[in-house]
A and B are shown apart, each in its own frame.
Chain A
């Protein structure tokens, strides 16, 4: 394995591959706060061959502890309020919040008022809004790359 990695590194330096345009990366933690599963299905496909967001340094991570960005889908339900806040509090600073999809943004959410807390920005500030019902993988990719390009975003992970 070590030999393989060494060979790979030699190959890379030998080829003189261009450096990526975007420095840095973003680790994203997704939380479904009450979606219809549409945003999840599109988000999953951002890792599929047509989009392959990982090649830009955008990765979905398993724990909020590892994350720069909290990506929230759905109108926040009463039952997801606490788990969502727990995930948010578990993240290291600086942290960013992205609201994915119309429900998370508070556009025409459906349901019984007593079962819903409201849009994501009812709980904490939202840095990135990705509209759509659901947003296409293209739209999700473009929005997250824009977050990576933001001056504030570039500092992520370097503080």
Chain B
């Protein structure tokens, strides 16, 4: 149950919590910008919200205590009009200021110049703008401007019923639709005083792991593409295709759209479907392992991966990096390890042996998690699954929080409601949390390595922009 406090000492409470084992998990302004709320999460899975009133549309900044809050504060300024005292300069994030000086970091010195890339990229890639400050091929600094795809999904959901809200959350991103949907469902259920039954927990965990499998297969293919290794790329792209076909066979949709609902699940899997699914998953696992071995012994490919795009553990913690990118740096944190609302009993997060936080470590992390997900799914699909519901466990409240490990990291959802209507919805995805790490990773590396560095994160633009 998320604890909510809002009296004096906002900054002090957050500072004390962060000095302990609490981690920053998001900041948002309420609808109308009258207050700011900070979500904190502990390793045991508990969450708490710290609130402060935004008097005269200004709230105290916490960016000095927790740099990971920088994007959240900038977003709250652009979308809810809240200024943050102490956050200077408060650069625009969602708003696109034509004045370069307003949103880029000034870079001075001998002969630096700028390379502007995007929002339209050379391949089939989502839209976003990268402004590299370089000397020769060396990147000194990277300013990332996203939100080209900002659709205002959160604001559009305000006033909708909790049930209708799922459509907005589900459409935020195709690659994280299950993770985002489950985080939202958990938030709504906490607000409604509901708790999922064992069957519902299993249904959602199956969906989450199916999403992770196609996503990680896709990410391995993407890194091969980033190096220009067609053999690896096509092999893992073919496996991604098979994983999506399996999704369609089990749920009727290749991306598992509309499989997550608030307070229940319609997913039913009979013995024949389960047998076929487990057989296909075993085949996929063997084929992926064989493809992975081939990549491991491809020296010219492996030569490209180490010691570039480094995000070490200290930087990952400071920037609030999450998911495979953080674990590849040795930060052994995974929301699945403390998810009582899901069926992850006994789950232990994995990190690579060589947890250096470079492209190679992130690449290996995908494979480690992939084997883990295959094992998890095999056990989850042992027994037939029927439609399931959430049951009453606690008193109703105005506010709920959900946290889920998406393929790209910890995704948090806060739902504030009035009756059965959404008053404010905030979805902070793993991609959103990890984008600042991409800029950090690029600094000091060579411009031609950036596509590979970016692919080793493979973050979504859609669920960042919303």
Contact = CB atoms under 8 A, between A and B. Distances in A.
Interface in B396-452: none
A83 B126 contact: no
B237 A44 contact: yes
Interface stretch (B14-22, B50-58, B166-174): B166-174
Interface in A41-94: 41-45, 47-50, 60, 62-63, 74-75, 77, 79-80, 83, 87
A83 B129 CA distance: 11
B interface, over-half SS: loop
Interface in B129-183: 147-153, 155-156, 167-168, 171-175, 177
A136 B237 contact: no
B147 A79 contact: yes
Interface in A138-159: none
Contacts of B172: 36
B461 interface: yes
Which residue of B148, B149, B240 has the most chain A CB atoms within 10 A of its CB atom?
B149
A97 to B, nearest CB: 15
A45 B237 contact: yes
Interface stretch (B99-107, B116-124, B325-333, B367-375): B116-124
Interface in B237-261: 237-238, 240-241, 244, 254-255, 257
Contact of B218 (A33, A41, A43): A41
Given A37-B461, A37-B462, A110-B156, A44 B124 contact: yes
Which residue of A32, A36, A74, A115 has the most chain B CB atoms within 10 A of its CB atom?
A36
Given A48-B238, A133-B257, A110 B153 contact: yes
Contacts of A48: 234, 237-238, 240-241
Contacts of B174: 36-39, 41, 134
A30 B124 contact: yes
A112 B119 CA distance: 21
Contacts of A106: none
Interface in A9-47: 30-45, 47
Contacts of A33: 127
A60 B121 CA distance: 12
A134 B177 CA distance: 13
A32 B127 contact: yes
A114 interface: yes
A83 B124 contact: no
A116 interface: yes
A36 B167 CA distance: 12
Contacts of A79: 96, 119, 147-150
Nearest to A33: B127
6 contacts: A32-B125, A32-B126, A35-B462, A60-B123, A60-B124, A79-B150
Interface of A: 30-45, 47-50, 60, 62-63, 74-75, 77, 79-80, 83, 87, 109-112, 114-116, 133-134, 136-137
Interface of B: 96, 119-120, 122-127, 147-153, 155-156, 167-168, 171-175, 177, 218, 234, 237-238, 240-241, 244, 254-255, 257, 460-463
Closest CB pairs A-B (n = 7): A112-B152, A38-B174, A111-B151, A48-B237, A62-B122, A115-B152, A37-B462
